[in-house]
Amino acid sequence: MNAAKEIETLIRAKYPILFLVTWEEARVQSVLEEIGTRLNRQVHTWSVTQGMNPSVSAARKDQAGKLPGELEALAQIHEAAEFTIFVLKDFHSYMRDTRVIRLMRDLAIRLRGKSQSLIILSPNLTIPTELEKEITVVEYPLPGPEEIAAQLDDVISAVSDNPQFNTQLEALDREIMIKSAQGLTKDEIESAFARSLVEFRRFNVDTILEEKKQIVRKSGLLEFYPAESSFKDVGGHDLLKEWLEKRRTSFTDKAREFGLPAPKGVLMLGVQGCGKSLVAKSIAATWHLPLLKLDVGRIFGSLVGQSEENIRKAIRVAESVAPCCLWADELEKGFAGVAGGGSGDSGTTQRVFATFLTWMQEKTKPVFLIATANDVSKLPPELLRKGRFDEIFFIDLPESPEREEIFAIHIKKRKRNLANFDLKALAAKTAGFSGAEIEQVVIGGLFNAYDKGHDLTQEDLIQEAGAQVPLSVMMAEEIDELRTWARLRARPSARRTED
Ligand SMILES: Nc1ncnc2c1ncn2[C@@H]1O[C@H](COP(=O)(O)OP(=O)(O)OP(=O)(O)O)[C@@H](O)[C@H]1O
Ligand SMILES: [Mg+2]
């Protein structure tokens, strides 16, 4: 049942006090007006600044000012005729006052008898215990796909005879626009559509992501990442890229109708500097989804109980901007101690972790979790159990052809012509180097060239490669251990030829 229908039913069934949880006063108000008309009931709206509108009775008006506004409002309701609806804005903040609570309890019985309904609108659900039995809570949802589609059509028809704007949308793009706008209020959606037309002369999903950025920023627990890298910036990892490419449109209705489940998430384990964070960023950009980074450090607040509330809040924010990617980087750092018993902090880490696990298991909103980790020994085994992630990938050091690709990416990024370089020779010289180290070779090479006063040459790169000792040499044992572990439990991110 949709929320408007539910409210109508509750009013007809004489539920005396409804608490509607919503940010959208104007949108809900117009729905309530419609219900009032349909049920033939007068709707009175009260706010602290405007008072009761329309006022209940002229006689009461000259008494105005003698009582505090909120008590005056309740007094007016007490006097009002049968079959009326009262909408109270921001009233939750007065519901701490014992007089208000008492009056509301007394009113509740009377309201029922007179077919009157009192409706409280507020984004914050706070109900004093004394009133719990009198109040019925309805979460008023943000606009759904049909409403957004109608809004989009309104905008299109409003500008249809203006040749400045291109309002053509392919079916898939239209669906992406509508999907991305979910989680925003009606006003935010309208602003995003309008802004898109003004800025780009057409509909661009990035303006919607811009609106969502605001929501994420205000929450303070998640970090919004701009879409900057794509799969083209990632060298190697062909199997991982294929896997992700296949899931590119998996958040669409067509995929649902086909019977595909929405993807849950992916865990990338592996050697430092081989592109885990880079892949995370490029997934979101390729899929045109907002990327939210979960900062585990910020989750663990200093107050008791705060960390658990924080993780719940972070999850809520991510769900409210869904579809999106939630990026939990270096998971083992945040949840270190869970595997070892979590002795130091009286189980807080464990409880936060448990909340997170439960959410992963049961989430229904399209939030794609991208998790990364370097050290498997610190990861709690529950995390790796089937059903939590769609897949666990092992990110190994790049083999020779992958190193060529990575060199090519970074040489091109620095605006040098690839024809001047022998990529095969560079790859041969850098066995055991990670992607990050290859990037360092290119940067070091540029310094060499600049110092010598000529443009970058093959020789500069070879010289730099010879001067660096890759991490894999110093950490040979750890990497071997990781490989042995991963061979049985994870899928390789790239086709292997060497061993
Ligand atoms: N496969 C790759 N292709 C292209 N560039 C790469 C690749 N791997 C690493 N790099 C370069 O190295 C930088 C660092 O890599 P990234 O941060 O993604 O590694 P990581 O696996 O997350 O490392 P860590 O475990 O230390 O967090 C990237 O920003 C990119 O410039
Ligand atoms: Mg990283």
CATH code, domain carrying 440: 1.10.8.60
| Closest ligand relative to 374 C-alpha | 1
Tell whether the model's pLDDT for residue 11 goes beyond 80: yes
| 329 plus 382 within the same structural domain | yes
Q: How confident is the model at residue 304 (pLDDT cuts 50, 70, 90)?
A: low
Close Cβ partners of 430 (under 8 Å, ≥ 6 residues apart): 403, 407, 437, 438, 441, 465, 470
116 within a domain of the structure (yes/no): yes
362 within a domain of the structure (yes/no): yes
Q: Which of 439, 472, 475 to mutate to test the pocket of ligand 1 (most atoms within 8 A of CB)?
A: 439
For residue 1, what pLDDT is reported?
61
Which DSSP category does 456 fall into?
A: -
For residue 225, what pLDDT is reported?
85
**Are 318 and 367 spatial neighbours (Cβ–Cβ below 8 Å)?**
yes
| 341 plus 364 within the same structural domain | yes
Q: Which of these, 266, 394, 242, 377, lies nearest to 328 by C-alpha position?
A: 266
For residue 64, what pLDDT is reported?
57
For residue 394, what pLDDT is reported?
95
499 within a domain of the structure (yes/no): no
Q: What are phi and psi of 131, to 5 degrees?
A: -100, 0
Atom of ligand 1 nearest to the CA of 281: 18
Q: What is the gyration radius of the CA atoms in the chain, in angstroms?
A: 29
For residue 8, what pLDDT is reported?
96
Q: Which of 237, 276, 278 to mutate to test the pocket of ligand 1 (most atoms within 8 A of CB)?
A: 278
Q: How far apart are CA 498 and CA 226, in angstroms?
A: 36
User: From the CB of 401, is ligand 1 less than 6 Å away?
Assistant: no
Q: Ligand 2 centroid to 42 CA: how many Å?
A: 60
- Angle at 46 (CA atoms; ends 44, 49), nearest 5 degrees: 145
| 292 plus 376 within the same structural domain | yes
User: From the CB of 373, is ligand 1 less than 6 Å away?
Assistant: no
- Angle at 376 (CA atoms; ends 372, 379), nearest 5 degrees: 80
| 275 plus 313 within the same structural domain | yes
User: From the CB of 104, is ligand 1 less than 6 Å away?
Assistant: no
Question: Do β-strands 391-395 and 491-492 pair in parallel, antiparallel, or remain unpaired?
Answer: parallel
Atom of ligand 1 nearest to the CA of 279: 18
| 428 plus 450 within the same structural domain | yes
Tell whether the model's pLDDT for residue 447 goes beyond 70: yes
CATH code, domain carrying 306: 3.40.50.300
247 within a domain of the structure (yes/no): no
The answer to which of 84-88, 338-342, 413-417, 491-495 has the lowest mean pLDDT is 338-342
Q: How far is CA 226 from CA 179, 290, 294, 415, in A?
A: 19, 8, 14, 23
Kindly report whether the peptide bond that precedes residue 323 is cis, defined as omega within 30 degrees of 0. Answer: yes
User: Of 218, 243, 276, which residue sits at a domain end?
Assistant: 218
pLDDT more than 70, % of the chain: 95
User: From the CB of 338, is ligand 1 less than 6 Å away?
Assistant: no
Q: How far apart are CA 117 and CA 41, in angstroms?
A: 10
Q: Domain containing 382: what range?
A: 259-395
Tell whether the model's pLDDT for residue 433 goes beyond 90: yes
| 168 plus 124 within the same structural domain | no
| 135 plus 15 within the same structural domain | yes
Region 79-90: what's the mean pLDDT? 92
Q: Which of 268, 272, 274 to mutate to test the pocket of ligand 1 (most atoms within 8 A of CB)?
A: 274
| Span 134-159, pLDDT tens digits | 999 998 988 988 999 999 999 999 98
Q: Ligand 1 centroid to 433 CA: how many Å?
A: 11
Around ion ligand 2, which residues have CB less than 5 A away? 276-277
Number of structural domains found in the chain: 4
How far from each other are the two terminal CA atoms of the chain, in whole angstroms? 59
Region 356-377: what's the mean pLDDT? 89
Tell whether the model's pLDDT for residue 465 goes beyond 50: yes
User: From the CB of 235, is ligand 1 less than 6 Å away?
Assistant: yes
| Span 33-50, pLDDT tens digits | 999 999 999 999 999 999
User: Of 104, 139, 174, which residue sits at a domain end?
Assistant: 139
For residue 37, what pLDDT is reported?
96
| 47 plus 151 within the same structural domain | no
The answer to which of 105-109, 167-171, 431-435 has the lowest mean pLDDT is 167-171
For residue 342, what pLDDT is reported?
46
This prediction has a pTM of 0.75
Q: Quote the longest CA-to-CA distance of the chain.
A: 95
Q: How confident is the model at residue 449 (pLDDT cuts 50, 70, 90)?
A: very high
245 within a domain of the structure (yes/no): no
pLDDT more than 90, % of the chain: 56
Q: How far apart are CA 26 and CA 45, in angstroms?
A: 12
496 within a domain of the structure (yes/no): no
| 371 plus 414 within the same structural domain | no
Dihedral-angle region of residue 199 (phi above 0 means left; psi in -120 to 50 means alpha; beta otherwise): alpha
| Span 191-250, pLDDT tens digits | 999 999 999 999 988 888 888 888 888 888 899 887 788 899 999 999 999 999 999 888
430 within a domain of the structure (yes/no): yes
User: From the CB of 107, is ligand 1 less than 6 Å away?
Assistant: no
User: From the CB of 277, is ligand 1 less than 6 Å away?
Assistant: yes
| Closest ligand relative to 403 C-alpha | 1
Q: Ligand 2 centroid to 414 CA: how many Å?
A: 22
For residue 190, what pLDDT is reported?
92
Q: Ligand 2 centroid to 370 CA: how many Å?
A: 12
User: From the CB of 436, is ligand 1 less than 6 Å away?
Assistant: yes
Q: Ligand 1 centroid to 279 CA: how many Å?
A: 8
Q: Ligand 2 centroid to 330 CA: how many Å?
A: 7
For residue 269, what pLDDT is reported?
93
Encode burial over 51-66: b for 16+ CB neighbours within 10 A, e otherwise: ebeeebeeebeeeeee
Give residue 408's Cα distance to chain centre: 34
| 347 plus 361 within the same structural domain | yes
| 211 plus 285 within the same structural domain | no
Atom 24 of ligand 1 has which residue's CA nearest to it?
272
User: Of 346, 374, 395, which residue sits at a domain end?
Assistant: 395
Look over the chain and give the mean of its residue pLDDT values, rounded to a whole number. 89
User: From the CB of 374, is ligand 1 less than 6 Å away?
Assistant: yes
For residue 61, what pLDDT is reported?
54
**Are 183 and 212 spatial neighbours (Cβ–Cβ below 8 Å)?**
yes
For residue 212, what pLDDT is reported?
85
| 385 plus 447 within the same structural domain | no
For residue 227, what pLDDT is reported?
75
Atom 17 of ligand 1 has which residue's CA nearest to it?
277
Region 275-279: what's the mean pLDDT? 95
**Are 89 and 47 spatial neighbours (Cβ–Cβ below 8 Å)?**
yes
44 within a domain of the structure (yes/no): yes
| Span 388-429, pLDDT tens digits | 899 999 999 999 999 999 999 999 999 999 999 999 999 999
Tell whether the model's pLDDT for residue 335 goes beyond 80: no
